[in-house]
Structure 1
């Protein structure tokens, strides 16, 4: 059962488009949305999601390797899944692991569907970005590995979201397939499918394969939907987004408000140079009176630089999600912000 407040989906979709996440293509005769293409902020959100998926499924796991493959199979047919590439690496990875199971293989990239993928009344035309993890396991380990995988992946989705409205759903019929489903006021959406197949007798050790498949494009739409909220203020509707800090397209907004614009800009440039050493993306040139612009794209932190900064070297660091602020010296901004982002 969804716990989120009800909002008009078409208004939210238009907001996502206006906020630079995707462009909407409409049917000329019905005026209904047909499909969407990423804009700059949507591309950044997609990139950050894939990066967090990589960390959770490869970087911190034992015996899991990341592999890649060409988009076009044999130079002609575009791939419909990444599983062919993972199977081709099996023998080599098994050898590297001294012939012992389990081993894991992960891959992500563009695949092509025979039909469009639909989520929240929006289609992605044919192509989608797949994130695939496959564990090659002996029969005796299936139940244990599958159970831990379901728990870990469900916890990860809840960590990466705001509403926590993700639930596991086992497929009926006695097999070991399951799904992780996002529930909202606009219905249920499958964000991840976990399947078990085997034994694969054509492979050495006849392993079973536990596969986790995610469409990163569906994930982006779900995260936008999950992070969206609106508040009625008099006759206006305030719309904003909130992401997990590591998913946010931009981590920091820079607000300059003062009379000595030239010197304040020098301070801002110093802070930007320091933060870019940590690859922290910044939205700049934000007027302090226009902080709503940061909320519209889900920026978690902001720095306000004022004339007093030139006297004491301090700026205000705002947590945009919690509506709190603290004074920090400009020489400590990088250390403080990196600490907050890593602890998220």
Structure 2
């Protein structure tokens, strides 16, 4: 990594140590790699990005998985009857960037969304996209105020603005949005004979930068009952696992086994509703506080607590990661209730 990053490294050290300890990142040589929990988090981030930039747009956006941008453009142009706007999303490998968060990785996968717009509408479209993208970052943030837009860089060929996240060690580049007034470099003028030559707007996000930003954004270390309570406050849509299970220690081995079987039954019901659950064999072997500390460090929003009383009356407790408050819910009502919790943003 660059020698001029020594001070930021010292400030971010605690975050990275927790990320390595809990399986989000792993260090190989001088660089970081994405570990199992980080892979799950990144999967959810990509899903939300594609939902926002591809699926839920008022205009049509096509993924480009081939090596020919031109062929994908021609398909999009024909399918949309040459009516703008329409977009093409591609993934590219960029090994040239090593600033900020990207300095921690040896490769840089970039998702680039290209939107082709009629020239007379391009400027208004460009400013609207800036607002939408900043709002997207804020929706999933534990500290929405940290996201700001840079000043616009402007010349005869393009305009460029950056979305940045503010941290104690400085500003980190998260997304770059450009408006190009010339022809896309993969295309030629022959494609537009007798029709409008569009401008194009790009949104560029590094997957590695998106991941480490989400980890830094969600990291929280607060004083709780005279001890430092470390957690990741992931948005519930992004959390690698949505629900975890804790079993209160019981002096009756039979009760513990029955509660474990009940937890397995509940987790199957939740998974059928597409709610990802983490049920570990060690549930019930550690104290509840120890279990909660572990699950909070994984950023799991809710924890289902089963006790001996659960076997008598069917009542479980649902603990919130963010508030630590618990509410009582009957086992039969739990799947529907949890589904509603994760339905909305």
Does the pair score TM above 0.5?
Answer: yes
1:61 is matched with: 57
Name 1:3's counterpart in structure 2.
Answer: none
TM-score (norm 2): 0.85
Aligned to 1:136: 116
Contact 1:183 1:189 in 2 (8 A): yes
Match of 2:273 among 267, 278, 281: 278
* Greater strand share, structure number: 1
**1:217 maps to which of 208, 223, 229:** 208
Q: TM-score, structure 1 length as denominator?
A: 0.85
2:131 paired with 1:154: no
- Of stretches 194-203 and 256-265 in structure 1, the one that deviates more from structure 2 is 194-203
Give the corresponding residue for 1:289: 289
Runs of 4 or more consecutive aligned structure 1 residues displaced over 6 Å after TM superposition: none
Residue of structure 1 in register with 2:6 after alignment = none
Confirm or deny: 8 A CA contact 2:174 2:205 kept in the other structure. Answer: yes
Structure 2 unmatched ranges of 5 or more: 1-9
Distance 1:113 1:283, change over 3 A: same
Provide the aligned length of Structure 1 versus Structure 2: 315
Change beyond 3 A, Cα 1:53–1:195: same
1:22 aligned partner: 25
Q: Judging changes above 3 Å, is the alpha-carbon distance between structure 1 residues 135 and 230 closer, same or farther for their aligned structure 2 residues?
A: same
**SS of 1:298's equivalent?**
coil
Question: What pairs up with 1:6-85 in 2 under 5 angstroms?
Answer: 8-26=11-29, 34-70=30-66, 85=69
Is 2:268 aligned against 1:268? no
Is the alpha carbon distance of 1:228 and 1:162 closer, same or farther for their aligned partners in structure 2, counting shifts above 3 Å? same
After superposition, the Cα gap between the structure-2 partners of 1:328 and 1:8, relative to the gap in structure 1 and judged at 3 Å, is: same
TM-aligned CA deviation for residue 322 of structure 1: 2.0
Provide the secondary structure at the position in 2 that maps to 1:308. Answer: helix
1:285-343 alpha-carbon deviations (Å, 9 max, x no partner)? 34423210011111101100111111111111111112222111112211111111122
**Distance in 2 of aligned mates of 1:21 and 1:171:** 34
Superposed CA RMSD in Å reads 2.1
CA deviation digits over 1:31-80, x for unaligned, max 9?
Answer: xxx2101111010111010000011111111332332325xx5xxxxxxx
What does residue 99 of structure 1 align with?
Answer: 82
* Matched position secondary structure for 1:115: coil
Structure 1 residues 180 and 317, CA, compared in 2 at 3 Å: closer, same or farther?
same
Asked if the contact 2:174/2:210 (under 8 Å) is kept, the reply is yes
Match of 1:30 in 2: none
Distance 1:234 1:244 in 2: 24
Offset at residue 236 of structure 1 (A): 5.6
The whole-number CA distance in structure 2 between the counterparts of 1:123 and 1:272 is 36
Give the 3-state SS of the residue equivalent to 1:8 in structure 2.
Answer: helix
Secondary structure of 2:104's aligned partner: strand
Which residue in 2 is equivalent to 1:80? none
Please give the alpha-carbon distance, in whole angstroms, between the structure 1 residues aligned to 2:149 and 2:174: 10
SS at match of 1:316: strand
Task: Give CA-to-partner distance per residue, 1:89-118, whole Å, 9 cap, x none.
Answer: 1221121112211112223x4x33333534
State the distance in 1 between where 2:53 and 2:97 align: 27
Task: Describe the SS at the equivalent of 2:153.
Answer: coil
Who is 2:179 aligned against?
Answer: 196
| Kept in 2: contact 1:64–1:106 (CA 8 A) | no
Alignment CA distance shift 1:271-1:235 (3 Å): closer
**Residue in 1 that maps onto 2:163:** 180
